[in-house]
Chains A and B, each alone.
Chain A
Amino acid sequence: MRQENMRRIISVASLVIIMLIFGLTSDSFFTADNILNILRDCAVYGIIAIGVTFVIITAGIDLSTGAIVGVTGMLCANLLYYYNLSAGLIVLISILTGTICGMLNGFIVVKLRVPEFIATLSTQYLFRSMVFVFTIREMGVITNKRIENPAILLLGGRINGIYLVTMAFVLLAVIGQIILKKTKFGTYIYAAGANRKSAELSGINTDKVRWAAFIITGFLCGIAALFQIGRVGSVTTDLGNGWEFDVIAAVVIGGCAFSGGRGDVFGSTVGAIFMAVLQNGILKYNLPTAAQLVVKGIVIVLMIVFDAVYNNMMQKRIQQKAREEDAAEMAGGEA
């Protein structure tokens, strides 16, 4: 069986297992409402995870996604409050802001050759500070203002019971998967991550490819921010705080390897659902928030370690297999 399929089965299996655990221990888990909620909750992370999938396949990382959502969301709230811009303009600005943030990440990584994690960690500080630049203040005090624009609030709503954000997520995930698997650019994303030197030898401009992955991530962060503020109806300064980690966890659980070249949007989608289920399920146990944090953290650490162990094992297995084939050939050939 191909390794990709094997890894996929493991992702789905771990999702099924965790759902069964929660389903069997809680009555309110397998209800239509709860499932719809999970699908709503996973969608915002999931949209970002699509972009981060691209970045991680190129052997990069993006730690600034949460902060991009924060700054984009806050800017939108600010413009809505002070300038009462139209919804269409807000959508445009939001997406543009996210894209610019992604562009900046890409610039620092590709042009300044700063390692991805430190570059995006730095821009995380930057974007977090920018949030405070855009906060709404009354008499110098940071104030939360309700978003009044009905069209923006509609983004948090649902059609036929299904949340808009869920639909957007499905649509974007399908597009993402098609780009990754069915276009030149997608192939180059894999090539740039798995063996950058060879990719360049084949005439691929890997700098462009890596940069593009960051831009896509920023773009998707802009979209995610829109849905988030639409749903919540206001923006606090810690919007998006720590999201980057949940998103990365989702992508890792979905089978992307940090060494690059492995994984896809389908897996990350499964990972995003896994994270939402975990979050949702833990709530059912009436644990204090702190304990929830700990349990969630431990599950994620275990999944990360499992993924590393699995990858190492598969790598060894593949090598072993190739060596044994060689050994068999050797014995057969010389006789």
Chain B
Amino acid sequence: MSALLEMKGIVKRFNDTAVLRKVDFSVEAGEVHALMGENGAGKSTLIKILTGIYPKDGGEIFWNGQKVEINNRNDAFRLGISVIYQELSLIPTLTVMQNVMLGREETRAGIINAKTMRKRVKDLISKYGFGIKPDATVETLTIAQRQTVEILKALSEESKMIIMDEPTASLSTKESDALFKIVEQLRDDGVSVIYISHRLEEVYRLSDRLTVLRDGVREAVLTKEQIIPADVVRLMIGKELSESTASQNLRKSDAPVRLKVENLTRKGIFKNISFEVHEGEIIGVAGLVGAGRTEVMRCIYGADPYDSGKIEFEGEALPRRIVANIKKGFGFVPEDRRNQGFTPLLSIEKNVALTNYDTLASGGIVKAKKERKLGNEMVERLNIKPNNSQIPVGNLSGGNQQKAVLAKWLSRDLKILIIDEPTAGIDIGAKDEIYRILEELAANGTSVIMVSSDLQELLRVSQRIIVMRKGEIFTEFSDGRVTQEDILMAESGILTKEGQEHE
């Protein structure tokens, strides 16, 4: 039996750090092959090599038994490999048909032959039982429907292999079920599907085989019978590691409540979010991509509106405006650092000062000396490199950029710091420093709400952990020992709601 795709001994390095270390990966024709692993295990790097976005540093790729070089997206496309992107790549103002056939329009005497194209698309739609019309404009479709359009596009290109990266991240249960049916149908049609997901239940249900990656190494290949959720989790995390990083410091806080969120709801995004944050407490918010964590935080901070619910801060209703909340002692470090965190052209000093002009200026006039002093102080205190507050933040490395964003808030009398993915894309040394800063803050009475996808980080830093799933709070870990497995199982929906306080 020969595999459709064979990747052998794939090696990839970024700046001397090996991200993939001789990974083997093979997919057969007409199978659903799941690819799992924690964040940073190397899944997306492997896929990017397969689709020609990254060049590989070693190893070979075979397609139908023949050695191939995939140097760019077109090479992958020609072989018959399609990717359904997380951020959808459709043209919103064109119709379903136009999108599906984009770049491959059929023409007669220069005029588009809409009839035959429509028929082709219609045939495909009815063959797979999709509930969309060929002439609907894409922007009026729901996210799930748009995803089916992407799949349609791949199908019309007669792809032999479709790669789906977290396809259910923003889908409801019902929509996910529909997607599973499509995946099964694809398999029956002889199309191979590489299915990347954190959601074990889906993988369990769908996949014929499963490859687990951990730290750039292929940990295991499991057949359908071998897939047992608890085992998979253990493989992903690594048994020893899981034990050693189990949380020790989960505890309920006796300090007074500082922030109380009650039944916070934003239609279609999250609902009935209720939790409390005590003084000097670090709360971790866990969940998969699309669980609604960032959205909840933005609403609390006042960056986005919400539909119903209550937020109380020190016993009073919290205003829905950022400026007012900052005055009350809020700080916010966003997930998308580059686009939302800082102004790249401005120096560290001026970025830091931006949130501090209530003290750094009087009557609208900036006290330049104080401003400079603060900038230098922060560079010193956070150990920002290079050690110069006049350098534009855009020129710093990721970790130092994050420190600069944090520095904006640290000089303030912070009551609450909301920090979203504090260490995404940051090297280990800087990570430790950021953890230390958060712990220091908490020790001085600041409440920290930390959204994170990094399980080790959650366990290391937080005193309580809230787990969100599909726009709701699924459970909370607030005492005793918790391991990465526990959180992963809760996030990915292996645990049922039975016995939990909600419901």
A residues in contact (CB < 8 Å) with B: 2-4, 178, 182-184, 187, 190-191, 194-195, 197-199, 201-204, 261-262, 318, 321-327, 329-330, 332-334
Contacts and interface: CB of A to CB of B under 8 A. Distances in A.
Contact of B102 (A3, A187, A262): A187
A329 B175 contact: yes
A327 B105 CA distance: 36
Which A-B residue pairs are the 7 nearest by beta carbons? Answer: A323-B268, A333-B173, A333-B174, A329-B172, A327-B268, A261-B93, A326-B268
B137 interface: yes
Nearest to B94: A190
Contacts of A184: 105, 107, 112
Nearest to A181: B112
B91 A261 contact: yes
Contacts of B271: 327, 330
Given A187-B98, A190-B94, A194-B91, A326 B142 contact: yes
B143 A326 contact: yes
Contacts of B175: 329, 333
B73 A201 contact: yes
B102 A191 contact: yes
A182 B111 contact: yes
B105 A194 contact: no
B424 to A, nearest CB: 22
B92 A195 contact: yes
Interface of B: 73-74, 89-94, 98, 102-103, 105, 107, 110-112, 114, 137, 139-144, 172-175, 177, 267-269, 271, 470-471
B145 to A, nearest CB: 9
Nearest to B113: A182
Contacts of B94: 187, 190-191, 194, 261
Given A195-B92, A261-B92, A326-B143, A203 B172 contact: no
A178 B107 CA distance: 13
Contacts, number: 101
A183 B111 contact: yes
Contacts of B141: 322
A4 to B, nearest CB: 7
9 contacts: A183-B112, A184-B112, A203-B74, A261-B93, A323-B268, A325-B268, A330-B172, A333-B174, A333-B177
B70 to A, nearest CB: 16
B140 A3 contact: yes
A4 B139 CA distance: 12
Given A202-B102, A202-B103, A195 B89 contact: yes
Contacts of B267: 323-324, 327
B471 A330 contact: yes
Given A2-B137, A3-B137, A202-B103, A190 B93 contact: yes
A197 B87 CA distance: 12
B3 to A, nearest CB: 27
Given A184-B107, A198-B91, A323-B268, A329 B98 contact: no
Which of A197, A199, A329, A332 counts the most chain B CB atoms within 10 A? A329
Contacts of A199: 91, 102
